[in-house]
Structure 1
Amino acid sequence: MQLPSQFVRLTGSSNKVIKQLTLLRKDKAERARQGHVLVQGIKTIQELAQKGIPIATLGITLPASPADSTAEQGHSHPTACVQSIQALVGGHAADNHPVDLRGSSLELVQAIARGEIQAGQYLAVSRALTSKLLGTQSPTSEHEVWAKVRTMDHSHRFDPSSSRLVERMLVLDRITDPGNMGLMIRAGSALGWDGSWHTPGTVDEMNDKVIRASRALCLEWPVKAGGTWSQLDQFLQHRRMALVVADMLPASASVQKGGAASKKDRSMLEVDPYQLAWWNWPTGLPSTTLPNRIALVLSSEHHGVRAHQETEMEQQVKSRLLDNAIRVSIPMATGVESMNVATAATTMMWEINQLVHRKGAPQILRIAQ
């Protein structure tokens, strides 16, 4: 088939456009300046187009031509900088090298021809340049597609004046693994949570690995980036939200399969392994149902939720909030020390949804102080 005439073929990693697109992936400040990010995959691009998210650039992957090979090795070539694909007729380029347009690249070109997806710029690059742009560790597909799309600022959802209620949100405390963040955003979106508050030191929500892990749902997920604990304190008070911290079970708790009483140690608290365990429950809070509005704090398995690396004032605010917060734990089998934070977050969000909507009674552990 003949490619749409608006496509332009780029060759050579030194090309200005390639450099700009690569910088967009690598540099947080550049993403903020341009207000755009790179996404990949035909399904993701189709979903973004259907949602009306503006697409600045669409890119397809074509098999490398001799000109591509020369340019990517750093040698000059008269047509290596920018070559129009308008000359492609019947699946062949002007130099008689066949153009193997298949898979996602063919699907995207067909969608463009039908008017289903539109952009301000259309590019075609080699597989090597696609890998460079996307920064994937494993080789990209022979016919991978990608797009430069506009980011949206949803942080107004966390303004005191916002009319949109935030009923359940995540508080990500120094989560540094972008894959984990992406999975939590994807799970939160699927489970109907309202967004996340990111404390200083948390990875950028527009990091390329976050985008891939979330299937680009991070573009629509409301985030308060760099929100301090003092600001969080004010927000929780204004919205009347309960702060809940994901934590390990206390040492005095014992997971009992079948609920049988322990004859060896009567001082141990028995925990039903098939539901979340709640503790540090406020005295004045009814124990028959969960609060309707919850902010769930999650931190990395390595650092945990501790008050350090903040200013003295922030440490005091954080310590007060954490000391008074409700704690929630996932009972685990003997010999398992912890769960991946994204897995734990998904489990907790789903269980919290069940308790809130069904008005179920939480399993509360009464721990002697």
Structure 2
Amino acid sequence: MITSIQNTRVKEWNKLKKRKGRKQTGSFLVEGFHLVEEAYNGGWEVREVILREDVEAPDWLADTTVTEVSNQVFSAIADTETPQGIAAVIALRQEPEIDFGRVLMVDAVQDPGNLGTLIRTADAAGYDAVILGNGTVDPYNDKVIRATQGSIFHIPILQGSLTEWTERLKADGVQVVASALEGAQPYNSSSDPQKTALIVGNEGAGISPELLEIADERVYIPIRGKAESLNVAVAAGILMYHFID
């Protein structure tokens, strides 16, 4: 059992809380019974489970490497206010080959809660993938992972230049629709093609002009009350479900 927060393993686990550490090791940290089990059941490579000394390992971890730690050590690696006493190191996956039908594209969304909700909603709506553009918060940030409620283990998350992805999708016959205000039509008067990539943008600045220029179509959600705008995750939820009807 590891009892010192100065232990090398503890320091390595804490490095996974930063994007640089996740990139260097090709792994990330999740915390809590639900998320660990979602990763396990989803077929992700669970490299190691970290278990607090007073917590009993669930039966489904029988074939997994388990490291027991003291209360003090677990508190040092935990990010939640009331830790459940279980965490796991999960290996990152390589980009899968996908037959795109419905895709969510995210342009520079920076709030972890918003991104987690976007991923969770795309999963719920049955989308094939979420593509994250440059400037978007790291999807393996602990706050993003918690906000997905496990959906990050159910739906492919791709990253890269959205301009390049847009050109690639259009070449594959996917209609690219951008959520915008200027030069846009109400979303419910939009066409509903079989293959759709929906772009949503940064909380303050929206979608970059370059992306708006190459999108096939622009849509907006009418505001009936006095609110200036909708939260990006709420707006995306409305639009995602519209494009699967």
Taking structure 2 as the reference length, the TM-score comes to 0.88
CA deviation after TM superposition for structure 1 residue 344, in Å: 1.3
Cα distance, 1:120–1:178 mapped onto 2, change above 3 Å: same
What does residue 34 of structure 1 align with? 25
Deviations 1:13-45 (A, max 9, x none): 21111110000112x232122221111111222
Deviations 1:268-292 (A, max 9, x none): xxx7xxxx4446xxxxxxxxx5111
Equivalent residue letter for 1:299: G
Distance in 2 of aligned mates of 1:349 and 1:320: 21
Equivalences for residues 1-369 of structure 1 within 5 A: 9-26=1-18, 28-62=19-53, 101=54, 105-106=55-56, 109=57, 111-112=58-59, 116-126=61-71, 128-136=72-80, 139-141=81-83, 143-153=84-94, 155-157=95-97, 164-229=98-163, 231-248=164-181, 276-278=187-189, 289-307=191-209, 315=210, 318=211, 320-322=213-215, 325-354=216-245
Please say if residues 42 and 145 of structure 1, whose CA atoms lie closer than 8 Å, have aligned partners that are also in contact: yes
Distance in 1 of aligned mates of 2:48 and 2:203: 38
Cα distance, 1:219–1:43 mapped onto 2, change above 3 Å: closer
Please say if residues 247 and 328 of structure 1, whose CA atoms lie closer than 8 Å, have aligned partners that are also in contact: yes
What does residue 98 of structure 1 align with? none
Distance in 2 of aligned mates of 1:235 and 1:250: 24
Q: Which runs of 5+ in 2 are unaligned?
A: none
CA deviation after TM superposition for structure 1 residue 119, in Å: 1.7
Cα distance, 1:345–1:131 mapped onto 2, change above 3 Å: farther
Please say if residues 201 and 208 of structure 2, whose CA atoms lie closer than 8 Å, have aligned partners that are also in contact: no
Equivalent residue letter for 1:140: T
Distance in 2 of aligned mates of 1:351 and 1:233: 20
CA deviation after TM superposition for structure 1 residue 175, in Å: 1.0
SS at match of 1:10: coil
Distance in 2 of aligned mates of 1:117 and 1:206: 26
Equivalent residue letter for 1:241: V
SS at match of 1:346: helix
SS at match of 1:21: helix
Report the RMSD for the aligned CA atoms in angstroms. 2.4
Please say if residues 106 and 199 of structure 2, whose CA atoms lie closer than 8 Å, have aligned partners that are also in contact: yes
Distance in 1 of aligned mates of 2:212 and 2:147: 32
CA deviation after TM superposition for structure 1 residue 218, in Å: 2.0
CA deviation after TM superposition for structure 1 residue 228, in Å: 4.4
CA deviation after TM superposition for structure 1 residue 223, in Å: 2.7
Taking structure 1 as the reference length, the TM-score comes to 0.60
Structure 1 stretch displaced more, 28-37 or 292-301? 28-37
Deviations 1:152-195 (A, max 9, x none): 12x243xxxxxx41011011111111211111111111211011
Please say if residues 107 and 199 of structure 2, whose CA atoms lie closer than 8 Å, have aligned partners that are also in contact: yes
The alignment-based identity, stated in percent, is 25
Number of paired residues? 245
Distance in 2 of aligned mates of 1:24 and 1:227: 25
SS at match of 1:119: coil
CA deviation after TM superposition for structure 1 residue 61, in Å: 2.6
Cα distance, 1:21–1:351 mapped onto 2, change above 3 Å: same
Please say if residues 58 and 147 of structure 1, whose CA atoms lie closer than 8 Å, have aligned partners that are also in contact: yes
Distance in 1 of aligned mates of 2:162 and 2:225: 37
Distance in 2 of aligned mates of 1:202 and 1:179: 12
